[in-house]
Chain A
Amino acid sequence: MHRDQLARREFLALAGAGVALMTLSPFAAEATPASVLQAIEKAIGAKAFKEGKIALELPQIAENGSVVPLGVTVESPMTEKDFVKSVHLYADGNPLPEIADYHFGPHNGKAEFSLRIRLAKSQKIVAVAQLSNGDVYIARREVKVTIGGCGG
Chain B
Amino acid sequence: MAVKNIEPKVRVPGTVKKGEPFEIKCVVTHIMETGQRPNKETGGRFPRDILNKLIVTYGGKTVLHADWHPGVSSNPYTSFFVVATASGPMEFTWTDDKGETHKKSVNVNVAG
Which of A12, A89, A101, A118 touches B9 (beta carbons < 8 Å)? A12
Contact with B along A87-106 (1 / 0, CB 8 A): 00101001110111111111
A114 vs B72: C-alpha distance in the bound complex, in angstroms?
11
Report chain B residues within 8 Å CB of A106. 83
Report the minimal beta-carbon distance from A63 to chain B, rounded to whole angstroms. Answer: 14
Residue of chain A at shortest CB distance from B29: A17
User: Could you tell me how many residues of chain A have their Cβ less than 8 Å away from some Cβ of chain B?
Assistant: 46
Known contacts A14-B9, A27-B36, A103-B64; decide if A96 and B80 are in contact (CB<8 Å): no
Report chain A residues within 8 Å CB of B82. 107-109
Report chain B residues within 8 Å CB of A112. 80-81
Flag whether A60 is at the interface (Cβ < 8 A): no
Interface size on B, as a range, is 35 or more
Flag whether B70 is at the interface (Cβ < 8 A): yes
Flag whether A66 is at the interface (Cβ < 8 A): yes
Interface pair B75/A21, CB less than 8 Å apart: yes
Report the minimal beta-carbon distance from B70 to chain A, rounded to whole angstroms. Answer: 6
Report chain A residues within 8 Å CB of B27. 12, 14
Report chain B residues within 8 Å CB of A118. 34, 70-73
- Chain B residues packing against A (C-beta within 8 Å): 1, 3, 6, 9, 11, 20-21, 25, 27, 29, 31-32, 34, 36-38, 61, 63-83, 85
- Chain A residues packing against B (C-beta within 8 Å): 8-9, 11-12, 14, 17-18, 20-22, 24-28, 66-68, 78, 89, 91, 94-96, 98-110, 112-119, 150
Minimum-distance CB pairs A-B, first 5: A109-B21, A27-B36, A99-B71, A18-B75, A109-B83
